[in-house]
Amino acid sequence: MSLTTNNINQNELRKLAAREGYTFFGLTVPYLIMVTALIAIPVGWLFYLSFIGRDGTFSFENYERMWKSKAYIKIFITTFKISILTTIICAAIGYPLAYFMSQLSRRWANICMIGVLIPFWTSLLVRTYAWLVLLQKKGLLNNIAIDMGLISEPIKFVHNTTGTLIGMVHIMLPFLILPLYANMRAIDKDCMKAASSLGAAPSRAFWTVFLPLSLPGLLAGLLIVFVLCLGFYVTPAILGGGKVIMAAMKISSNIELYFSWGAASALGVVLLVVTGIILFIASKLVSIDQLGSR
């Protein structure tokens, strides 16, 4: 008995399946092109440029410079310190807010969400300068506090780490709240009721049930905020008063200083690698996979 008589239309159906497969794969093509053009090629180029010295030949000089200078280490420490602090403060402010919103009716939650998102509609530059106006030595906040007799000397809110953090937290907060809120909304409200009915006091129910279930959203938010912070330029430049120097600012000033892409690229490469290592370690410490997948 031959196969073809037994398996009617088998080959045709296989071809049909293959064709469907190609079409399906075709959906990823725009993305692949974009990733290649916008990420793979530029990153590769960055990497290549970082090994090109001032005279245009292959050289490690851009990396050597970083080794030798204490400034670079200090700048990296500042970059990570500011990023981590911003992330922590965002979490401390954003988590309770997201929780509050997740407990509201959809209508009120949407109204709150608009409040959270309004800052997105204003340019980052405008918001940053607004903080400067509010917080500077003779700014609105200090003036009011002095007029009310709360303080006698103005408090230094800006042109330092404090100012940088205030500005950055304000800008980053929505990035933490959005994934966190979405995650909290998805948590079955009956889970908290169940915990309560089983004997858990509200705080206990929160720590043992709600918090673990909201961790994926929290981690996603923390990660987005942290990574975005690493590349911050405008806000620390304006609110840091030149004292808070982050990697992106140094990348820019290196171009001015050495007039070569290499000096800037090397810094970019190091930032990329260090960030990669930190995220890798973080992912090992906290396996997102183990947390509350449903």
Partner 1 sequence: MMKGLRSVGLIAAAGLAFSSTTAFADELRIVSWGGAYQKGQSIGIFQPAAKAMGITVKEDTYGGISDVKLMVKSGADKFDIFSSGAGSCASGAAEGVLEKLDYSIIDVSDHLPGMYSDYCAGADIFSVVAAWNTETYGDNGPRTWADFYDVEKFPGTRAMRNKVDAQLETALLADGVPMDQIYEVLNSEAGIERALDKIRTIKPHIAVWWSSGAQHAQLMKDGEVDMTTGWNGRFDVAKDDGAKVAYDWRTGIMDWEGYGIPKGAKNKDLAMKYIAEMMKPEYMAEFAKYITYGPTNGKVYELGLMEESRAKMMPSHPDNAKHQLTLSTEWYSKWRTIAAEMYTEMMTE
Partner 2 sequence: MENSSLNISIKNVTKKYDEFYALKDISLDITSGEFMTLLGPSGSGKTTLLMVLAGFTNPDYGSVKFGEEEVILKPPHLRGIGMVFQNYALFPHMTVEQNVGYPQKLRGVSKAETSRTVDEALETVKLGGLGHRRVDELSGGQRQRVALARAIVFKPKILLMDEPLSALDKKLREEMQIELRQLHDTLNMTTVYVTHDQKEALTMSDRITVINGGELMQLGTPNEIYEHPENGFIADFIGESTLLPVQVKNSKATIGKTEIKVAQPLDKDGNFSLVVRPEKVFLAPSKKKKDENYFNGRLLDSIFQGESQLLVIDLESAGGEAQELRVRIPNQSVTDKALPAIGEKVTIALKVADSYVVS
Tell me which residues touch partner 2 (CB under 8 A): 188, 190-191, 193-202, 204-205, 208-209, 212-213, 291-294
* Residue from 255, 274, 288, 291 in contact with partner 1 (CB under 8 A): 255
Q: DSSP letters of 257-285?
A: HH-SHHHHHHHHHHHHHHHHHHHHHHHHH
Rounded to whole angstroms, the Cα distance separating 181 from 99 reads: 7
Q: How far is the CB of 243 from partner 1 (least distance, A)?
A: 6
Any alpha helices (H) in 69-160, and if so which ranges?
70-103, 106-121, 124-135, 140-147
Residue 253 binds partner 1 (CB under 8 A): yes
Other Cβ atoms less than 10 A from the Cβ of 280: the count is 10
Cβ nearer to partner 2, comparing 96 with 202: 202
Rounded to whole angstroms, the Cα distance separating 165 from 186 reads: 31
Residue 204 binds partner 1 (CB under 8 A): no
Cβ nearer to partner 2, comparing 14 with 204: 204
Question: From the list partner 2, partner 1, none, which binds 289 (C-beta under 5 to 8 Å, kind-based)?
Answer: none
Cβ nearer to partner 2, comparing 213 with 239: 213
Q: Which helix (H) or strand (E) holds 12?
A: helix 10-26
Residue 159 binds partner 1 (CB under 8 A): yes
Residue 245 binds partner 1 (CB under 8 A): yes
Other Cβ atoms less than 10 A from the Cβ of 97: the count is 17
Instruction: Tell me if 176 sits within 8 A of 214, measured CB to CB.
Output: no
Rounded to whole angstroms, the Cα distance separating 107 from 112 reads: 9
CA atoms within 13 A on the CB side of 64: 6
* Residue from 59, 161, 196, 252 in contact with partner 1 (CB under 8 A): 252
Buried b (16+ CB within 10 A) or exposed e, 238-272: bbbbeebbbbbbbbeebbeebebbbbbbbbbbbbe
Question: From the list partner 2, partner 1, none, which binds 126 (C-beta under 5 to 8 Å, kind-based)?
Answer: none
Residue 84 binds partner 1 (CB under 8 A): no
Q: How far is the CB of 236 from partner 1 (least distance, A)?
A: 11
Q: How far is the CB of 234 from partner 1 (least distance, A)?
A: 7
Question: From the list partner 2, partner 1, none, which binds 255 (C-beta under 5 to 8 Å, kind-based)?
Answer: partner 1
- Binding flags for partner 1, 33-62, as an x/- string (CB under 8 A): ------------------------------
Question: From the list partner 2, partner 1, none, which binds 159 (C-beta under 5 to 8 Å, kind-based)?
Answer: partner 1
Any alpha helices (H) in 136-260, and if so which ranges?
140-147, 161-186, 189-197, 202-205, 211-230, 234-239, 247-258
Residue ranges binding partner 1 (CB under 8 A) = 69-71, 74-75, 78, 125, 136-139, 156, 159, 233-234, 237-238, 241-243, 245, 249, 252-253, 255-259, 261
